[in-house]
Amino acid sequence: MLSSPLKRVPSMPNPNDRPAIELTGMNKWYGDFHVLKNINLRVLRGEKLVICGPSGSGKSTMIRCINRLEEHQQGQIVVDGVELTNDLKKIDVIRRDIGMVFQHFNLFPHLTILENLTLAPIWVRGMRRGQAEQTAMHYLERVKIPDQAHKYPGQLSGGQQQRVAIARALCMSPKIILFDEPTSALDPEMVKEVLDTMVALAEDGMTMLCVTHEMGFARQVADRVVFMDQGEIVEMNTPSEFFSHPRHQRSKLFLAQILN
Amino acid sequence: MKALSLPLPAEPTPGQIRFGALRRSARLLFGTPLNAALTLLFGVLLVATVPPMLRWLVIDAVLFDPSPRACRVATGACWSFIYAKSGQLLFGIYPLDDRWRPAIVCLLILALLGWSVRPASWAPRLAALWVAALVLIFWLMAGGLGLTEVPTSSWGGLPVTLILTVVAIGVAFPVGILLALARRSTMPAIRVGAVVLIESVRGLPLLSILFVASIMMPLFLPEALLPDKFVRALVALTIFAAAYLAEVIRGGLQAIPNGQYEAAAAVGLPFWRMQYLVILPQAIRVAIPALANTIIVMIKNTSLVLVVGLFDLISSGKAALADPDWPSPAAETFLFIGAIFFALSFSFARFTDFLERRGPTAH
């Protein structure tokens, strides 16, 4: 599946379905600093969004609000029909169904790769150990590192660690996966192996929100590109439109900088 | 540029090697005037101290003669005293006919400690095993249910030291973890409570806490509510150890990067499971050297209970020395007691060394 040629597979989200994620009039402040300004975003099931923008534009903060690693102060965030509030139980339930892949992998260094993958299925989903290990091995094979199962994260390369992190998210059978600059901390020669894994995931119809500067990846898999600047969504369009005819001055400037 | 070619040194013969080693050590010992002076100084010190020490320890010492008379005339150490008084040294004033009870207690605790350091036995049932063992231990020591009752004021020696150490540290460790987490809590009442408790316990000498527990508590608690003196000292030691351990564990917690909390939260691990499965194993590992330090100090702090009238190893030693038949060989007695404390502390240090080397080394 991963070895298939990298081609664009059109997904067909049905706009009449209940949206996977819906942000309405969402605002967030850090003290006096207005980080996110009136964010409105509707993500359909199976949609792949690439979120880009200059650093400090609030793109990471926005996706971190979706699994409430950050709190928003105003507006509404509804994930799979459930609104995010201060109710801790509800937050944990929502988090089970949202996978997250971090820039710095954040694997658990005191556990082996296999234990990293089985921890949440066992302790959050209540899965039996044998079954959890079977699932874990299945996903390790999908990210092509089943032979590393009994090593510790510190013994793996950055690219391998990030693929483990993706497998760890998949082991919870999430409905949505959030990627927070998954290739930014990698050595250049390891970026491709991680992107290939993400492309394969997109081809399987996973709902994905990716904060990334990998424009090739955006062209290849994104249904929509979201461009953010200074805490606002400035432009949102299909990748072909966005890259060939950016409408906004700020988008043009950003594209000029990133593509050169 | 011309390539440099160096002549290879000729293979040394065995004679040259031996001679060379001799010359090397001679150079190390007498190479400079300062080295020569230091070598001579330490040589003189060794000659002056080692032979008399050996004479006192072994050559002139009374090793096996069981009568006090031999010790009175001997110029060396009186080791037979340790042998003759071993029962009293180890078990204090515990009734003679029942000394088998504290003996079993000591063996039981040491065997359980030996069992507990094996990684294979680390499971929840180990804690259950300890609780069951402690019930058995208190029954053996205190009596009742078929055994003669022995009040805690008659307990003494090694079992007292072992029980105080194991229970105080065993209870203080989880309490310390809770206090450390409480001090980092975002809930003000919990955080302030932890700070007040930790800082007031750390601000007081252990001696004064023991005095409060043993002398002041009876002044304002009715007798029916007053726990036994041994239990009061145990609680005082536990609270003291918990405050110190809490700060050490908090240090470990601060070393854990935020990403670990986020990754654990992102998969939906609730607070306590996140702490137990992800954060604490890493934090405690970071804190191992400091934890070992605190715990070793606590092992020796247990001897301070003698000030409130409990007979630990040191008080039993003092009591044994009071026998007028013997010439009161204090140095020998304290060497013996010191050896027991050293064995306990050193074994624990080796255990923590093993823990540090275990598990992933790279991060």
Residue-wise DSSP of B103-127: HHHHHHHHHHHHHHTSGGG-SHHHH
The answer to whether the CB of B185 falls within 8 A of the CB of B193 is no
Per 3-state DSSP, chain B is made up of helix, strand and coil in percentages (nearest 5) of 75, 0, 25
The token duo for A102 is: 């971090």
ipTM of the shown complex: 0.90
Q: Do A154 and B360 touch (CB under 8 A)?
A: yes
The token duo for A56 is: 């400090």
- pLDDT score for B315: 86
Please tell me which residue of chain A has the smallest CA distance to B257: A106
Contact with chain A for residue B359, Cβ under 8 A: yes
The answer to whether the CB of A105 falls within 8 A of the CB of A158 is yes
Backbone torsions φ then ψ of B221, nearest 5 degrees = -115, 135
**How many Å apart are CA A75 and CA A24, to the nearest integer?**
6
Radius of gyration of chain A, Cα coordinates, nearest whole angstrom: 18
The token duo for A186 is: 């990698």
The answer to whether the CB of A60 falls within 8 A of the CB of A211 is yes
Contact with chain A for residue B55, Cβ under 8 A: no
In angstroms, the Cα distances linking B3 to A46, A98, B6, B10 are 68, 66, 10, 22
Coil/strand/helix, residue A149? coil
Q: What is the pTM of this model?
A: 0.85
Q: Do A108 and B361 touch (CB under 8 A)?
A: no
Please tell me which residue of chain B has the smallest CA distance to A122: B269
Coil/strand/helix, residue B185? coil
**Which of A161, A226, A176, A86 shows the shortest CA–CA distance to B266?**
A176
Query: pLDDT tens, position by position, for chain B (363 residues)?
Result: 445 566 666 666 666 666 778 888 888 888 888 989 999 999 999 999 999 999 998 888 888 887 888 888 888 888 988 888 888 899 988 999 999 999 999 999 999 999 999 888 888 899 999 999 999 999 999 988 888 999 988 898 899 999 999 999 999 999 999 999 999 999 999 999 999 999 999 999 999 999 888 888 888 888 877 888 888 999 999 999 999 999 999 999 999 999 999 999 999 999 999 999 999 999 999 999 999 999 999 999 888 888 888 888 888 888 888 888 888 888 899 999 999 999 999 999 999 999 988 877 544
Confidence of residue A3 (pLDDT cuts 50, 70, 90): very low
Contact with chain A for residue B116, Cβ under 8 A: no
Q: Which chain B residues are closer than 8 Å to A95 by Cβ?
A: 265-268
**How many Å apart are CA B265 and CA B201, to the nearest integer?**
34
How many cross-chain Cβ pairs, A to B, lie less than 8 Å apart?
A: 73
How many angstroms separate the CA of residue A12 from the nearest CA in chain B?
A: 28
Angle A253-A255-A259 (CA atoms, 0-180°, nearest 5)? 125
How many angstroms separate the CA of residue B361 from the nearest CA in chain A?
A: 8
